[in-house]
């Protein structure tokens, strides 16, 4: 009973849940080419890690990895290790947006504690985005022409052959 209870009230339980979510996560489904939707432009005002405003338009014509997350959300936290590995491998070929609507302090603490180096992007609540913003977590991969190639709302395994082959094919310049 104590072991089961530890999964609900202790840090051991938190990390156990993270580990289990990672263990059972599967690769995301890639949307069939004929079923892909275009994003509604690139005009989206955001804040960078230094709280400076910038526009999503800077990424027009690039492959995009857009992940919505929250530091307090266990499924979000479970995905970030794989996303960090993707970022380490593809940051020179893909623009990564790891978007949160949290305040800076808890996010910065979370990043340091977990040794994550991917860029954090802060969403301005109420500002329209060029695609549907999920309630807490969700991920889009968008090709250079603005087509949504992946659209998932559940935790996925991001560091796998399916995703790396996709990013290789999308970022390849003919």
Q: pLDDT tens digit string along 48-66?
A: 999 999 999 999 999 999 9
Q: In 60-80, which positions are buried (b, 16+ CB within 10 angstroms) versus exposed (e)?
A: eeebbbbbbbbbebebbbbbb
Specify the pLDDT at position 140: 98
Contact predicate 17/7, CB 8 Å:
yes
CB within 8 Å of 104: residues ≥ 6 apart: 49, 51, 122
Return the sign of the alpha-carbon dihedral for residues 122, 63, 57, 41. negative
| Percent of the chain at pLDDT exceeding 90 | 74
Torsion, Cα 12 18 24 26, to 10 degrees, reads -170
């Amino acid at each position: 009973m104590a072991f089961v209870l530890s999964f609900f009230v202790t840090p051991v339980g938190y990390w156990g849940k993270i580990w289990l979510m990672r263990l059972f996560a599967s690769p995301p489904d890639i949307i069939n080419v004929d079923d892909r939707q275009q994003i509604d432009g690139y005009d989206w005002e955001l804040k960078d890690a230094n709280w400076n405003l910038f526009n999503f338009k800077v990424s027009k014509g690039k492959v995009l990895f857009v992940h919505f997350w929250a530091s307090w959300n266990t499924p979000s936290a479970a995905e970030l290790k794989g996303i960090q590995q993707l970022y380490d491998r593809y940051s020179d070929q893909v623009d990564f947006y790891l978007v949160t609507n949290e305040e800076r302090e808890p996010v910065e603490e979370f990043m340091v504690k977990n040794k994550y180096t991917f860029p954090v992007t802060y969403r301005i609540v109420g500002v329209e985005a060029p695609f549907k913003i999920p309630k807490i977590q969700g991920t889009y991969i968008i090709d250079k022409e603005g087509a949504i190639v992946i659209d998932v709302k559940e935790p996925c395994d991001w560091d796998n052959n399916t995703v790396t082959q996709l990013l290789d094919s999308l970022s390849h310049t003919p």
